[in-house]
Structure 1
Amino acid sequence: MNRKTMKQILLAWGMSLLPLLPQAGTAQTARRSITLDEAILLARVQSVDAAVALNKLKTAYWEYRTFQANLLPEISFTATLPSYNKKYNSYQQDNGAYTYVRNDYMNLSGSISIDQSIWLTGGTLSLTTSLDYLSQLSGNKSRQFMSVPVALTLNQPIFSVNNVKWNRRIEPVRYEEAKAAFLSATENVTLNTINHFFNLLLARERVNISSQNLENARKLYEVAKVKRRMGKISENDLLQLQLNMLNAESALTDNESSLKNAMFTLRSFLALEGQEELDPVLPDSIPGGLLNYQDVLEKALANNSFARNIRRRQLEADYEVAKARGNLREITLFAQVGYTGTDHSFRSSYQHLKDNQVVEVGIRIPLLDWGKRRGQVRVAESNRQVTESKLRQETMDFNQNLFILTEQFNNQKRQLKIAGEADRIARKRYHTNVETFMVGQISTLDLNDAQVSKDEARQKHINELFYYWYYYYQLRSLTLWDFDRNTGIDADFEEIIRRE
């Protein structure tokens, strides 16, 4: 066999390695292919994270419904059915001496009241009707009815804080914050899905690369043994290729284990049952384009729960100051007007009615409390100042982080393009080096370097694609805005709650 013939055989053997080079999106049989969009949809419907976000929304919804119900009239029925007493009570006679008399009676009572909070003043207005029945079971065995057909009662704090007014300001903001937090949490589910999906995608790619590298290493080792017998390479190069083959086998084992872990993690996150293998499909398109920071900031401040959180905490700090100031003095007005009737018969108790009017003004002003209440006002004011300082700092941090994220996203498109080009060049370089090694014009070190560069370039390309998607959905989560469709991210919250 002459030198030219041998060169042609080695070159043909090298060309047989080319189909083994990594190719994007290589599909394996007996696996379930899953795209990123499918994974995101599954995660939003049945993942544990999505369930947690939904339950938090439910809690906020029913808390807000409770607040709204507190603003409406409340109708209540109160009754004692019956109250029976048989005991001795002390009784003071006309001469001032005390004696004990025996009581043996039964009492029945019932009332219906309609209570309404007064939004403007923070007081309570009640409309009440009641009936009491007293039956003496010993002695003259008399009975008595007392009716209150109608009574109107006002209970009004004068200087205390108006809790109704403050709750009407705080609770709607709290609920809006919860709704925005739910939408952001849904986007965060997507972020976690992207993370697990690309971990599996990268693990699958590493297994493919390791498998191909092992097959290549075995064939190159066989070629090297032939070349060694011909004296074309040194013993050191042959041993290096044998070592490469062993390293490739070890790397394949490690990467297969990592693949199983990544697949289990994604399957668990998506709440998928069964044991079928998931074959992640490399996304063939990328969302969004270049974004303007000011536009992103405006959308974030308008839609994100952070803005509502800032507003709510500021209101709560103001509320604490108002409560502390209201506690400096307490004046309460109690007024009641109505009619009362008493008689031995039920009907007569409603016929002979008399005016029943009560007006009370209670005052409680501390004369000496050693500055306790004024100290509480100072504490509340200091806490408000601390809160305001924290809110300013958090706002600055939020704006800065949003700026950095916008810049990272805008830069990532260029990084992804560079990584894709580097991946293409590295695979082409390895292809060329395999051919060159077959004809004995480069060493095993150069071939190893080309293989390492090829593998790293492929993994970097996938990593850069992951960061692009991750940055994009981070911006969606913060702005609650779909930049592809140029529309806000919203939901029918009433329908979500009813559906569940």
Structure 2
Amino acid sequence: MKSIYTCLVFVLLLCCAQSIAQPARTLGLQEVITLAQQQSAAAKQAEVSQESSYWQWRSYKSDYRPQLSMNGTLADFSSTYTPVIQPDGTTDFKPVTINNADAGLTLRQLIGPTGGSIFVTSLMQRFDDFDRDITRYNGNPAIIGVEQPLFAYNPFAWAKKVEPLRYQESQRQYLEDKEDIAVEATKLYFDLLLAQVNQRIAIQNLANNDTLYQIAEEKYKLGRLSKNDLLQLRLAVLNATLDQDQATLDEQNATLALKTFVGLKDTDALQLTIPDAIPEAVVSAEMALAEAKKNRKEEISFKRRLLEAESIVAKAKGDNGLNMNVFATFGLSNSANNFTDVYLQPENLQRARVGFSMPLMDWGRQRSSYKVADLNRQLVQHTIAQEEATFEQAVLAQANQYITLKRRLATTADADAIAQERYEITKNIFIVGRISITDLNIALAEKDQARRAYISSLSQFWAAHYSLRQLTLYDFEKHQPIVSEINTNYKN
């Protein structure tokens, strides 16, 4: 009865274990990259940064559209004594209790090329004297005006040159951020893949060494194997056990790192596939450099920074010379006891003002400011020239590395296949007793080394592949720039 109960418990535990165990989730390299670019924290940061740039662009564009605003004072109440000059020339203090209120509506349009503006405004004022029970209205039903600075620095004209470049730069920065995610995901993918390969190697080596040790024990009993060789095989089993434990720990750490970056919240085990399918696209260093210059943000960034430096020079020149400001208005004005009477037969209103400012003696301040700005422009030019050369060098080096690594893959793949076959042959020869344990260990080490070298070559190739995409923003497989990934909700 006890044995039957034990069997039932064992079967129940086995069923529970099978129901709890989940199959490993199989993922390929492109799947991991897609997941990372869609749901990782880095992807969310890139999207927020792109959206922020979009709204900055919208804010800039709104500056050149008509602006309608309303302002006023709801109540300006005052109850005090005011000095009043009497007919005999003396001063008497009279109580005054008054309130002023006003409201205005203004439509203003910026003139970007000149830095001036035109506006249309309507104003209304109300005055209440509570001591004398008097209410008066004063209004400007319509006023048309223009305000125009002369010879001054025009920030709006420079912004119209700089801001479109800044927005284009942010769009390309978004694509570069997405490709950066692909590069990092590739690195973590192969870290885990290599850990899984090492784990499989360790498991296989442990099984092989254990089998060989069992065979060696039988040979030792028959006197066909020395004690030293038997102990060496036993030591190999122990070392293989330690290697398997370490490989399992490395695999767990690599899995956690990949899941954390990609944003996978599940607890499923991951089984990565080996990306043996290599792109057939032919890449040349010259082509990579040409595409990088067309697609990357650097070319736009260089232009923007030069324009910004020139803008600083223009500001230093404009702010320290002769500045004039023209202000003119024409409209209608009236005052009345009633609100509606203000709009009956209003009279013409004109106003014009021309002001100027010009430094006469500044002890070299104007010249110093201009010289600093001009030297800063020269520094920016030299810096950009150096950065441009460095960028070109980085693109050419990455393209050449990609080409070299692609050629190296075929060699490491052949070496891996040869080493695997050689080990099987060596193991079979050892079993029949025709070679020593030393030769077997050498074949085993070469097998493991060749396998790791092949995975390492794959890792380096795919890292170079996505790094080249990031440096050029060009899809060499589809033969087109990487532009389709920009969020279509953000438009110029």
Task: Name the counterpart of 1:175.
Answer: 167
Tell me which amino acid in the other structure corresponds to 1:260: Q
**1:196 equivalenced with 2:205 (yes/no):** no
Could you say which residue in structure 2 is the equivalent of 1:362?
355
Matched, 1:232 2:221: no
* Distance in 1 of aligned mates of 2:212 and 2:38: 49
Q: C-alpha displacement at 1:94, in angstroms?
A: 7.6
Number of positions where the alignment pairs a residue of Structure 1 with one of Structure 2: 470
Moved more, 224-233 or 476-485: 224-233
Residues 328 and 373 of structure 1 are in contact (CA less than 8 Å); yes or no, is this contact kept in structure 2?
Answer: yes
Residue 443 of structure 1 and its aligned partner are, at CA, apart by 2.2
Cα deviation for residue 29 of structure 1 reads 8.2
Distance 1:475 1:30 in 2: 36
Deviations 1:226-255 (A, max 9, x none): 333344333332222222111111111011
Residue 243 (str. 1) matches residue 198 (str. 2):
no
Query: 2:329·2:351 contact (CA, 8 Å) conserved in 1?
Result: yes
Q: Is residue 71 of structure 1 aligned with residue 49 of structure 2?
A: no
Q: Is the 8 A contact 2:98 2:130 kept in 1?
A: yes
Provide the C-alpha distance between the structure 2 equivalents of 1:182 and 1:235, rounded to a whole number of angstroms: 66
In the TM superposition, residue 79 of structure 1 has moved relative to its aligned partner by 2.1
Please identify, of 52-61 and 240-249, the stretch whose mean Cα deviation from structure 2 is larger: 240-249
Partner residue in 1 for 2:455: 462
Letter in 2 for 1:275: T
| Whole-Å separation in 1 of the counterparts to 2:435 and 2:325 | 98
Partners of 1:446 and 1:352 in 2: CA distance: 115
Deviation at 1:361, TM superposition (A): 1.8
The match for 2:5 is none
TM-score by length of 1: 0.90
Deviates more, 1:230-239 or 1:463-472: 230-239
Aligned residues of 2:395 and 2:472 also touching (Cα < 8 A): no
Where do residues 221-370 of structure 1 align in structure 2 (5 Å cutoff)? 221-329=213-321, 330-370=323-363
1:408-467 CA distance string (max 9 Å, x none): 111111111111011011111111211222233322222112111111111111111122
Separation in structure 1 between the aligned mates of residue 234 and residue 325 of structure 2, nearest angstrom? 94
Q: Percent identical across equivalent pairs?
A: 31
Query: CA offset at residue 202 of structure 1?
Result: 0.8
Confirm or deny: 8 A CA contact 1:342 1:352 kept in the other structure. Answer: no
Match of 1:137 among 130, 133, 153: 130
- 1:207 aligned onto 2:209: no
Compare 162-171 and 336-345 and name the one that shifted more: 336-345
Secondary structure of the corresponding residue to residue 290 of structure 1: coil
Distance in 2 between residues matched to 1:102 and 1:352, nearest whole Å:
35
Deviation at 1:80, TM superposition (A): 1.5
Question: What is the CA–CA distance in structure 2 between the aligned matches of 1:423 and 1:496, rounded to whole Å?
Answer: 49
SS of equivalent to 1:138: coil
Match of 1:16 in 2: none
Find the aligned partners of 2:139 and 2:350 in 1 and give their Cα distance. Answer: 15
1:495 is paired with a residue whose SS is: coil
> Which amino acid in structure 1 is aligned with residue 429 of structure 2?
T
Contact 1:288/1:483 (8 A) holds in 2: no
Partner residue in 2 for 1:86: 79
How far did 1:481 drift? 1.6
Partner residue in 2 for 1:411: 404
Partner residue of 1:420 out of 388, 413, 425: 413
3-state secondary structure, aligned to 1:490:
coil
Partner of 1:151 in structure 2? 143
- For 2:154 and 2:486, locate their aligned partners in 1 and report how far apart those are by CA, in whole Å: 30
CA contact (8 A) 2:175 2:485 kept: no
Bigger shift: residues 251-260 or 323-332: 323-332
Deviation at 1:90, TM superposition (A): 4.4
Letter of the 1:274 partner, please give it: D
Q: Counterparts of 1:92 and 1:206 in 2: how far apart (Å)?
A: 104
Q: Distance in 1 between matches of 2:349 and 2:250?
A: 84
- Contact map agreement 2:22 2:268 (CA 8 A) in 1: no
* 2:48 matches 1:55: yes
**Aligned counterpart, 2:469:** 476
Deviation (angstroms), 1:495: 3.1
- Secondary structure of the 2:488 match is helix
Amino acid at match of 2:240: A
Residue identity matched to 1:43: A
Alignment gaps of 5+ in structure 2? 1-20
Deviation at 1:355, TM superposition (A): 2.4
Cα distance between partner residues in 1 of 2:212 and 2:487 = 65
Q: Give me the whole-angstrom Cα distance separating, in 1, the residues matched to 2:463 and 2:39.
A: 21
Paired position in structure 2 for 1:12 = none
User: What is the SS of the residue equivalent to 1:77?
Assistant: strand
Letter of the structure 1 residue corresponding to residue 253 of structure 2:
N
- Classify 1:64/1:340 alpha carbon distance in 2 versus 1 (closer, same or farther; 3 Å): same
Segment of structure 1 superposing worse, 176-185 or 77-86:
77-86
Do structure 1's residue 121 and structure 2's residue 106 form an aligned pair?
A: no
Q: Is the 8 A contact 2:174 2:486 kept in 1?
A: no
What is the alpha-carbon distance in structure 1 between the residues aligned to residue 87 and residue 352 of structure 2? 32
Q: Distance in 2 between matches of 1:144 and 1:150?
A: 19
Change in CA separation of 1:316 and 1:297 when aligned onto 2, cut-off 3 Å: same
Q: TM-score, normalised by structure 2?
A: 0.91
Structure 1 residues 237, 494: CA separation in 2 closer, same or farther (over 3 Å shift)?
Answer: closer
Of the three residues 408, 427, 436, the one matched with 1:443 is 436
CA distance in structure 2 between the aligned counterparts of 1:228 and 1:472, rounded to whole angstroms: 53
Q: How many Å separate the matches in 1 of 2:24 and 2:145?
A: 74
CA distance in 2, matches of 1:63, 1:170: 13
Q: Does 1:103 align with 2:111?
A: no
Deviations 1:144-203 (A, max 9, x none): 111111112222221221111111111110010011111111111111221111111111
1:10 matched to which residue of 2? none
| Contact 1:195-1:466 at 8 Å conserved across structures | yes
Deviation (angstroms), 1:290: 2.7
In structure 2, do the counterparts of structure 1 residues 232 and 348 end up closer, same or farther at CA, with 3 Å as the change threshold?
same
Residue 376 of structure 1 aligns to which amino acid in structure 2?
S
Residue 400 (structure 1) aligned with residue 425 (structure 2)? no
Q: 1:288 Cα shift? A: 4.1
Q: Which runs of 5+ in 1 are unaligned?
A: 1-27
In structure 2, relative to structure 1, the CA distance for the partners of 1:452 and 1:355 (3 Å cut) is: same
Q: Deviations over 1:78-128 (max 9, x none)?
A: 122222221234456688765544321122211110111101201121111
Q: Which moved more, 1:93-102 or 1:73-82?
A: 93-102
Matches of residues 15-54 of structure 1 in structure 2 within 5 Å?
A: 30-54=23-47
Structure 2 equivalent of residue 17 of structure 1? none
Shift of 1:487: 1.6
Contact 1:287 1:472 in 2 (8 A): no
Question: Is contact 1:287–1:469 with CA below 8 Å preserved after alignment?
Answer: no
CA distance in 1, matches of 2:303, 2:87: 68
Amino acid at match of 1:319: S
